[in-house]
């Protein structure tokens, strides 16, 4: 099976470079045949519908004929962001001479597209849709701001229906869990405490603060010591809890759950918030990203939640 997949991927990569060299332009039919298997594989791995992947690739890369696709293997128009350490190319888009990512091959472009959607909160709701709901995905991508064209959703749907791409979504065994189940809206698990239901994120138990709660009152109710709450949540000793705060009652993990390798920061997000949202120890989150304690990320910056920031020298910690 691995040999077959390897051969399939190799045959997908080579034509991209030949097109640039010989000046040949690919048709939509050729694009589908070349990359549909990559899209199905990404659907299995990430949950992004294969029809959406192919339609976005066709639209964003002009069926693999765009400058970014030929010179950078970038089929989805994904820009550099602050922490991108790979090769880059500058290209006019919404603004003049914007920075875009360069990929080693087309497979990396497809994989990064899936990771990009899964790791950003603004797209998380899409993964709660049925995987065959390509119209919902198209509308959701536009709503979440993937593209500025007001007709973007209609364009994707038209491409999918004209090329029967919805057939690619049928019968695919998706192995990924929706990001909302692991990051945002966690499922109620157990109510062993009278006042505070117990929830789980990334395998770590936590509760949600209610009006009138304090570190001392929670410690008493949960039969914990106050210092444990401060430590498990990376909080200073003078912290005042407010309703809605999420308080871990067990130590956070060293890394995020599988399927969440990278987080793309939104304006105003802090490292502590990212640490709490993903149930990762704050000091280890700083180390993974080569940042100093107290340093905060910029909007659009990638924060690595599992592996290390590319190019960062590291050791065990």
Residues 48 and 169 in one domain: yes
Whether the CB-CB separation of 202 and 279 falls below 8 Å is answered with yes
> Can you tell me which residue has the tokens 């749907």?
157
CATH code of the domain containing 165 = 1.10.530.10
By CB neighbour count within 10 A (0-12 exposed, 13-18 middle, 19+ buried), where does 247 fall? buried
CA atoms of 167 and 67, how far apart (whole Å): 29
pLDDT at residue 153, as a whole number: 92
Q: Is residue 13 pLDDT above 70, yes or no? A: no
CA atoms of 82 and 97, how far apart (whole Å): 16
Whether the CB-CB separation of 251 and 257 falls below 8 Å is answered with no
Residues 207 and 78 in one domain: no
Q: Which domain holds residue 226?
A: 180-248
CA atoms of 54 and 159, how far apart (whole Å): 9
| Alpha-helix runs per DSSP H in the chain | 2-22, 28-46, 50-61, 67-72, 106-119, 134-144, 152-162, 179-182, 215-221, 226-232, 271-278, 282-288
The residue ranges of DSSP E strands in 202-273, in sequence order, are 204-208, 246-248, 262-264
Considering the domain boundaries, does residue 60 fall inside one? yes
Residues 221 and 87 in one domain: no
Residues 107 and 202 in one domain: no
197-229 pLDDT per residue, tens: 778 888 888 888 888 889 999 988 887 899 999
Please report which confidence band the pLDDT of residue 314 belongs to, taking 50, 70 and 90 as the band edges.
low
Whether the CB-CB separation of 52 and 156 falls below 8 Å is answered with yes
Residues 140 and 79 in one domain: yes
9 versus 87: the higher-pLDDT residue is: 87
Q: Is residue 63 pLDDT above 50, yes or no? A: yes
Residues 168 and 26 in one domain: yes
By CB neighbour count within 10 A (0-12 exposed, 13-18 middle, 19+ buried), where does 64 fall? buried
Helix (H) or strand (E) holding 203: none
113-145 pLDDT per residue, tens: 998 898 888 888 888 888 999 999 999 898 888
Structure tokens at 224: 């914990």
Q: 124: number of CA atoms within 13 Å, CB side? A: 18
User: Which positions ≥6 away from 13 have C-beta within 8 Å?
Assistant: 105, 106, 107
281 versus 313: the higher-pLDDT residue is: 281
Q: Which of 4-13, 60-69, 141-150, 190-199 has the lowest mean pLDDT?
A: 4-13
β-sheet bridge partners, residue 205: 200
Distances (CA, A) of 73 to 66, 110, 251: 10, 10, 42
Considering the domain boundaries, does residue 302 fall inside one? no
Residues 172 and 197 in one domain: no
Please report which confidence band the pLDDT of residue 301 belongs to, taking 50, 70 and 90 as the band edges.
very high
Q: Which of 23-37, 69-83, 183-197, 223-237 has the lowest mean pLDDT?
A: 183-197
Q: Is residue 15 pLDDT above 60, yes or no? A: no
Residues 50 and 100 in one domain: yes
Residues 52 and 108 in one domain: yes
Domain boundary pick from 200, 230, 248: 248
Total number of domains in the chain:
2
Residues 138 and 185 in one domain: no
Q: Is residue 192 pLDDT above 70, yes or no? A: no
Reference 276, options 209, 196, 197, 193; nearest CA is: 209
pLDDT at residue 17, as a whole number: 42
Residues 102 and 140 in one domain: yes
Residues 212 and 107 in one domain: no
Q: Which of 65-79, 95-109, 168-182, 293-307 has the lowest mean pLDDT?
A: 168-182
Handedness of CA 66, 67, 71, 72 (dihedral sign): negative
Domain boundary pick from 176, 207, 227: 176
94-112 pLDDT per residue, tens: 778 889 999 999 999 999 8
Considering the domain boundaries, does residue 300 fall inside one? no
Considering the domain boundaries, does residue 258 fall inside one? no
CA atoms of 269 and 264, how far apart (whole Å): 10
Q: Could you give the percent of the chain with pLDDT greater than 90?
A: 52
Q: What's the distance, CA 180 to chain centroid?
A: 12
Q: Torsion-angle region of residue 311: left (phi > 0), alpha (psi -120 to 50) or beta?
A: left
Considering the domain boundaries, does residue 304 fall inside one? no
Whether the CB-CB separation of 198 and 192 falls below 8 Å is answered with yes
Considering the domain boundaries, does residue 20 fall inside one? yes
Q: What is the mean pLDDT of the chain?
A: 84
pLDDT at residue 170, as a whole number: 93
Please report which confidence band the pLDDT of residue 315 belongs to, taking 50, 70 and 90 as the band edges.
low
Considering the domain boundaries, does residue 44 fall inside one? yes
Domain boundary pick from 201, 232, 248: 248
Residue 170 is given by DSSP the state T
Considering the domain boundaries, does residue 255 fall inside one? no
Whether the CB-CB separation of 107 and 38 falls below 8 Å is answered with yes
Radius of gyration of the chain (CA): 22
């Amino acid at each position: 099976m691995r040999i077959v997949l390897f051969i399939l991927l190799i045959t997908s990569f080579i034509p991209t470079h030949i097109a640039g060299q010989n000046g040949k332009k690919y048709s939509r039919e050729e694009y589908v045949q070349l990359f549909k298997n990559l899209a199905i594989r990404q659907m299995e791995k990430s949950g992004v519908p294969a029809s959406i992947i192919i339609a976005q690739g066709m639209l964003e890369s002009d069926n693999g004929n765009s400058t970014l696709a030929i010179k950078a293997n970038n089929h989805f128009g994904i820009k550099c962001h602050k922490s991108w350490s790979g090769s880059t190319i500058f290209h006019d888009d919404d603004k003049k001479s914007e920075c875009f990512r360069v990929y080693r091959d087309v497979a990396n472009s497809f994989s990064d597209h899936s990771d990009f959607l899964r790791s950003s909160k603004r797209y998380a709701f899409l993964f709660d849709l049925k995987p065959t709901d390509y119209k919902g995905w198209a509308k959701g991508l536009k709503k979440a701001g993937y593209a500025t064209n007001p007709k973007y959703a209609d364009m994707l749907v038209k491409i999918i229906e004209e090329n029967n791409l919805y057939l690619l979504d049928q019968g695919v065994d998706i192995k990924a869990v929706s990001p909302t189940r692991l990051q945002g809206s966690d499922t109620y698990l157990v109510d062993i405490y009278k006042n505070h239901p117990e929830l789980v994120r990334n395998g770590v138990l936590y509760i949600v603060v209610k009006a009138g709660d304090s570190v001392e009152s929670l410690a008493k109710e949960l039969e914990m010591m106050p210092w444990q709450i401060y430590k498990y949540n990376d909080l200073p000793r003078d912290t005042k809890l407010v309703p809605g705060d999420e308080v871990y009652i067990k130590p956070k993990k060293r890394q995020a759950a599988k399927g969440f390798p990278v987080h793309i920061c939104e304006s105003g997000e802090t490292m502590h918030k990212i640490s709490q949202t993903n149930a990762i120890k704050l000091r280890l989150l700083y180390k993974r990203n080569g940042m100093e304690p107290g340093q905060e990320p910029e909007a659009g910056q990638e924060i690595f939640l599992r592996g290390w920031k590319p190019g960062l020298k590291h050791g065990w910690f």
